[in-house]
Structure 1
Amino acid sequence: MAGDTITTRREEAETLSGLDALEIASRQKVAGGGRLLWAATWPKLAAIGLAIGIWQVVVWTGWKDPWALPGPGPVFTDLGQYLLTSAFWDGLATTARRAAVGFLAAVAFGLVLGLAVARSRILRAALGSMITALQTMPSIAWFPLAILLFQLSEQAIFFVVVLGAAPSIANGVIHGVDYVPPLLLRAGRNIGAKGLNLYWYVIAPAALPAIVAGLKQGWAFAWRSLMAGELLVVIATKTSIGAQLVYARELSEAERLIAIMIVILVLGLFVDAAFGVVDRAIRRRWGLLQSRRR
């Protein structure tokens, strides 16, 4: 009887010890995650603080009058008010819809074009250099033609966004396919992968890092094209972030103008962060991103 009691207490002690170990491990994991988050965050906060500090110093020098270059205080106050208005949310909805539709169309067109050119010698000879030339062409140079074809309409903006983003995406696909190891292709064919199966199960996974890089660059071109389009093609019946930027300039509202520019910058940073998450996930799956040892 006494032996059973001792055994039971020993088991309880071992159970409690195991629970304590799990709790300690959980706390260490949370602490490690917090340190990683802080290590990734503080450089960005320091850069933002430095930029705001330089901005304030430039204002203090009196280089420009406050009505032309207001300080951070008035701008961030106006930014807070702007974010609470219905105009901001309506404009954000319009701009986000245009960006999503234009970018998705550019992705579809760029992927198909890139795959076709990458696997066809005739198409590469005919279109390879043309795609690069289209990529280097400033998107704003397309707007006179777009306005001539579609007038001041949504279609004009859509036309330029697709032309601005698709060549970068196509080039990303082409470079990704070009750098697929021939040994991997032979291995895929040996196990019976042909045609679409070869693309889906062998070429696409191997080229995925370059494709994601092309998508990221394509998004940058699409976002710049969209902002240029909303500045040039102001549609009176639909407000947007770019149109509000134009109105702020015409009304000489410097605080609102800089506040809208901050919104555009932050939106771009959010999308860039999303692409960064995808890129890290791919590198981790490929074993290129080593986990931190505890």
Structure 2
Amino acid sequence: MFLAGLLATWALLARYGPWPHHLFPGPKAVAESLAAMVGDGRLWAAVTRSLGRLAQGYFLSVLIGVPLGLAMGRLRPVRHLLRPLVVGLQALPSICWLPLALLWFGLTETSIIFVVVMGSVLAIAIAVEDSIMGVDPLLLRVSSTYGIRGVRFYGGVLLPAALPSIITGLKLGWSFAWRALMAGELLYVSGGLGQLLTMGRELMEIPQVVAVMLCIIIVGTLIDRVLFQTVEVRVRRRWGLATS
């Protein structure tokens, strides 16, 4: 019912709203544009291109962000030294890294992947640090009493205890990575979803712009629901933090 009402409102605004029809297309025009892009293969090619970049950038962000957050959470000198810098850089919009990326790496895939990494790695590091700092101190004291140290401590006590919060942080980092990717692709001819948006704007194909925006929302929602939410719910159930 809600979706039907939303579509009806959209159609009414497109027909009788304050904007010209060519600037605010209705559901029918957007659906036709979406079907055309699916039919000629442009949409599938753009989605796979964007998801490939996302996978590379996000994987690098996890490889860097998790150890960085772990170090900040466990080592006080590292936390005092790096946390102000990490928090400050996190406040910088990821798109601000694009000019430097283009100067350092040129018009290459590396530039966009660099923007994706800078858009998500700091959020992951902060989330992991908060997860480590939130572990029950009693659990840490008990493990110390039993002489659990080194790899056994990190792999068997600390990381499992912080895992539910870490997964939530990884999901947050993914959302930042997805936004950074779209921003980077909008400003650089890249063959992804961002380029389809730019082409639609330049050609005044507003139905294409809206169709690609809907596709970005759908892809992002599917990844969140199918991957992250599934893992998060299972871990929380396993850890006794959720009942259903």
Shift of 1:256: 1.4
- Aligned with 2:135: secondary structure? coil
Whole-Å Cα distance in 1 between the matches of residues 5 and 184 of structure 2? 31
- Name the structure 2 match of 1:262: 214
TM-score, structure 2 as length reference: 0.94
- Answer yes or no: is 1:221 the counterpart of 2:173: no
Contact 1:231 1:243 in 2 (8 A): yes
Pairs within 5 Å for 1:17-32: none
1:289 matched to which residue of 2? 242
Shift, 1:216, TM fit: 0.9
1:58-73 map, 5 Å: 58-73=13-28
Q: Residues 15 and 21 of structure 2 are in contact (CA less than 8 Å); yes or no, is this contact kept in structure 1?
A: no
Contact 2:30-2:208 within 8 A present in 1 as well: yes
Partner residue, 2:232: 279
Per the TM alignment, residue 49 of structure 1 is displaced from its structure 2 partner at its CA by 2.9
| 1:252 counterpart letter in structure 2 | M
Any residues of structure 2 matched to 1:190-229 within 5 Å, and which? 190-229=145-184
Instruction: Give the drift of 1:193.
Output: 2.1
RMSD after superposition: 1.4
2:199 to 217, 226, 247: 247
Q: Secondary structure at the match of 1:234?
A: coil
Q: Deviation digits for residues 46-99 of structure 1, max 9, x if unmatched? A: 443333222122112241222111111111122123223222222122111000
Q: Which moved more, 1:100-109 or 1:66-75?
A: 66-75
1:120 corresponding residue in structure 2: 75
Which is greater in Rg? 1
For the pair 1:162 / 2:114, whether they are aligned, the reply is no
Does the Cα contact within 8 Å between 2:200 and 2:209 map onto a contact in 1? yes
2:48 is aligned, of 84, 90, 93, to: 93
Does structure 2 conserve the Cα–Cα contact (< 8 Å) formed by 1:153 and 1:233?
Answer: no
Structure 1 stretches of 4+ moved >6 Å: none
Structure 2: segments with no counterpart, 5+ residues: none
SS of structure 1 residue aligned to 2:24: coil
* SS of equivalent to 2:25: coil
Q: Quick one: distance in 1 between partners of 2:148 and 2:161? A: 14
Deviation at 1:172, TM superposition (A): 1.1
Gaps of 5+ in 1: 1-45
Q: CA deviation at 1:186?
A: 2.2
**Identity of matched residues, %:** 40
Query: How far is the alpha carbon of 1:159 from its aligned partner?
Result: 1.0
Which SS does the other structure have where 2:28 is aligned?
helix
